[in-house]
Structure 1
């Protein structure tokens, strides 16, 4: 950046110095007309110097543009890296309170706007300040009287700029906020495209888009209109200043106080003086837009993070042993979801958690993996409170298969290998075979090198789940979490997933969250959740014999009796 500033200073210095030489050359021509004697050699040297100055100025301008572009992009690279690192340090509830489209807009659109704005403004602002200072110094040296006339425009321009800036800042903030809202709607529409089409709500989605688009258009137009008032006003003031300088300068020439070359040079300097003022006013809308985007990006960077952990907190690896929930209470935004939850899981046991929607099943495993911290109570593994373990150490001991299998854009091999980076092809294949996936993958034209789109397209939901199970199989972690892994799949795929899950659970402590009770009948312990509490616990047979909450739910699913979980409560 230092080199860019030096190049900018050279560019401005050459542009400021050239008019003085042109004024001197003009005086040589005028004197030659009156005296009939032309100093041709001196005139030629002056014109050659001026030409070289302008060529040099153009070269320095190109150099500073190139250097500034590199500096700005380096700065943006660092900013994007800071934002990406920040996203990893944000708690889960931050994303629950923000639309994904708005967060994405901050990371992409707003940072891109800052980059473009800085590229336009940074060197231009330096050039304008240098040209303004240099031109003013030369004007004072040539004619203090004319310089005083030119200076009258400065306070007027400043007042106009400040007044417009106050108005435009709020409009630019609204523009980028509406951009985030529009992006959120588009992201939501793309994600739920099939649902929108299935229910015939294309017109409704289009109407929401039109309304958001109209708001964005109005906010953008108003921001541009208000900020755009500056430059025309600056040009008007510049032209009025030029007229005043020309008229007073003409009188100075007639009185013999100045030469024609001097007044010509001064007029050029006055242009160099008023032009930066006008440019600064013209840059106002860019700077205000940049400030609005910067506010949104730094609002993300300033968001509350997950508390920093000591570098040497707790054990270096997840300890083996029983998992104990001891009077654990937790709530979102003060509303309790889990209340005084207590249970014990022995090593190697499979624990199933069932219950109605919103009963707190997934919250239990989120607390276990420290995506959230309990409001009260204690969770321990092998006698060690997980609160003293680092989150990375804790989570390195868990294998996870979620209801919505997350796959990224890449090959099937890469998606399986995500469970253990660096695994050999043989290990990836073995994990796929254990998950009943190998035959299907080999039937694809490119086999394990078949490329998937983001989200796992074009695979079915069940096939994606098998890849997720193969990933967990390859990871081979001591504690396994299966969250609704068989939901939304057909009976054949469910059987394959159940068999893969059974093989995956061997020798591991497992937590299985399920609505389909067919997947939990062989569990060592079944916890029946109801409004954040354990309503019942025991084995499948014991709970059926108790003829309580679980038995009614089971019969509603498998005995053909009418009823739902709500009816069974």
Structure 2
């Protein structure tokens, strides 16, 4: 039942390409007619050669011409059939990939964070390739096989009714065998795909973090883990491939028995005068053609089971509840940056509360520094402000408007964000800086790079601003990558800023220069700074000290030092306490 619903849903993707489906069916029908016509023509040609010096050349030449024409038409319409079925299949798989990629863009971060990226990539690439193969097998072989069977029955009845009945009665046994085998292959293919996704996730994680693996000498441990996954994949693959491969030889064995029976009975019919030699030749060709579609159909079942297992994995992601924007989203005409968090509660897992009854008021243009020990909720607070996650209860508002009534894209356009972990993509430096800005001119890009103190190292690269970055900017140093991320924000020039350890990988001298640029940029802008180095936040209008998801202290730098509390101890753990 589950397979039927998956197949029905997969077929829904065929609707926009009905013209190709109709064309494929039409070309397949014509192809089959000429394919089945050829054996009769060959049989009649044989009958023109009834014995020694008894060859009717005029009739033989005519039959050879008809045979050549029939073969040519078969090849021509087979070409049209392949073109139409391939076009439809590849259009459908393209739409599937597009649909899945769109879903990836709107999935909540909670889903992305809780599933391995390798498995998600496997569904996007390998699984949809398997669906493509299954559809291709289905459209080219399933209909053609059924039509060939029906057409062959008609031609066999025309040649000899008794022989036709022998073939018709015995041959369906091969289909029954194939169906029974296919019934058990589905669960093994599902298991194989699941383990393959697990392996993709593990390999992607290990390759992406090779420096850490080598630094901690974990190569042998990772090899053991990989071997364990690979061994499970091997065992599952052997089971699924064995059962999948068992269908074809099983059906061939049944078909061979049918063919032998026809040969023996047909030979006696020729001796008895009830059938010509040409007629027997035609019939044996039909018997062989009649059994071949059953082999093709058995292969189709195997491919289809794999395709359905893959489709089920793809649809499982497509069916995930996506982030929805309000029907009538609100906007702010002139953002001032007054932010209120009222009784906000949030946790990543219900059994472990993180932020509880959190309240905060931020005036327009203020610089708010957020400090606290690891795991206190600093980054989580930023995630809530950006609506990467939504609070379980409470509200967050900007200029009096609840952020949950805003379009997420619009909300995030109000913030400029620089993280400790930089993100750059494969492309030119120019494109990476302009990533958050539309229609930025070259002059604006260069000016932003100068403000971020990135211009100097950029012009020293071969190609300058047109220099190509490797994936994730791996051909630059960590500090240079961070400078480009800062230049991106300088160019975007947003109403509010979030700086999460924005200068953590930059040398002291450049940090001072960038800090001056940030100070200029932060004038009149509400800014949140997450900092571990407390020397960078002494000028903040408010310092919020967090611990266990609560604000435990709040005030200016000097005020908090005088309290001799948590911030006082945290600050002097980094600096020498005066006598």
Q: Normalising by the residue count of structure 2, what TM-score does the alignment of the two structures yield?
A: 0.92
Cα distance in 1, alignment partners of residues 317 and 30 from structure 2: 39
Q: How far, CA to CA, are the matches of 2:170 and 2:246 in structure 1? A: 17
Structure 2 residue aligned with 1:406, among 412, 416, 423?
423
Return the offset for 1:86: 0.7
Figure out how many residues of one structure are paired with residues of the other and give that number.
557
* Cα deviation digits, residues 281-310 of structure 1 (max 9, x gap): 233332222222222211111112113531
The residue number in structure 1 matching 2:254 is 237
User: What's 2:456 paired with?
Assistant: 439
Q: Distance in 2 between matches of 1:308 and 1:271?
A: 60
Structure 2 counterpart of 1:57:
74
Give the SS at the match of 1:20.
Answer: helix
Measured in 1, the distance between the counterparts of 2:323 and 2:353 equals: 21
The yes-or-no answer on 1:13 pairing with 2:33 is yes
Give structure 2 stretches of 5+ with no counterpart.
1-19
| Partner SS for 2:49 | helix
Equivalent residue, structure 2, for 1:566: none
Distance between the aligned counterparts of 1:229 and 1:475, measured in 2?
61
> Is 2:516 aligned against 1:499?
yes
Tell me, yes or no, if the aligned pair for 2:174 and 2:252 is still in contact at 8 Å: no
**Partner in structure 2 of residue 324 of structure 1:** 340
C-alpha spacing 1:250/1:287, structure 2 compared with 1 (3 Å)? same
- Shift in Å, 1:103: 0.7
CA distance in 2, matches of 1:507, 1:469: 19
Give the root-mean-square deviation of aligned CA atoms. 2.0
- SS of 1:187's equivalent in the other structure is helix
- 2:452 matched to 1:452? no
Q: Which has the larger displacement, 53-62 or 113-122?
A: 113-122
Q: Partner residue of 2:496?
A: 479
Asked if the contact 2:336–2:365 (Cα under 8 Å) also holds between the matched residues in 1, the reply is no
Q: 1:565 maps to what in 2? A: none
- Between 439-448 and 115-124, report the one with greater CA deviation: 115-124
Contact 1:359 1:529 in 2 (8 A): yes
The answer on whether the counterparts of 1:317 and 1:394 sit within 8 Å (CA) in structure 2 is no
1:223 and 1:373 map into 2 onto residues whose CA distance is 43
Partner Cα distance (2:400, 2:109) in 1: 27
Distance apart, 1:321 and its partner CA:
4.3
How far has the Cα of 1:324 moved from its partner?
0.4
Unaligned runs of 5+ in 1: 562-569
Of stretches 481-490 and 423-432 in structure 1, the one that deviates more from structure 2 is 481-490
Which residue of structure 2 aligns with residue 202 of structure 1?
219
Aligned equivalents of 1:131, 1:383: Cα separation in 2: 71
Q: How does 1:81-480 map to 2 (within 5 A)?
A: 81-310=98-327, 312-315=328-331, 319-334=335-350, 335-480=352-497
346-355 or 217-226: bigger deviation: 217-226
User: Secondary structure of 1:343's match?
Assistant: strand
SS in 2 for 1:329: strand
Residue 317 to residue 5, structure 1, CA distance change in 2 (3 Å)? farther
Instruction: For 1:116 and 1:213, locate their aligned partners in 2 and report how far apart those are by CA, in whole Å.
Output: 24
Give the conservation status (yes or no) of the 8 Å contact 1:528–1:535. yes
Distance in 1, Cα, partners of 2:446 & 2:162:
87
TM-score w.r.t. structure 1 length?
0.93
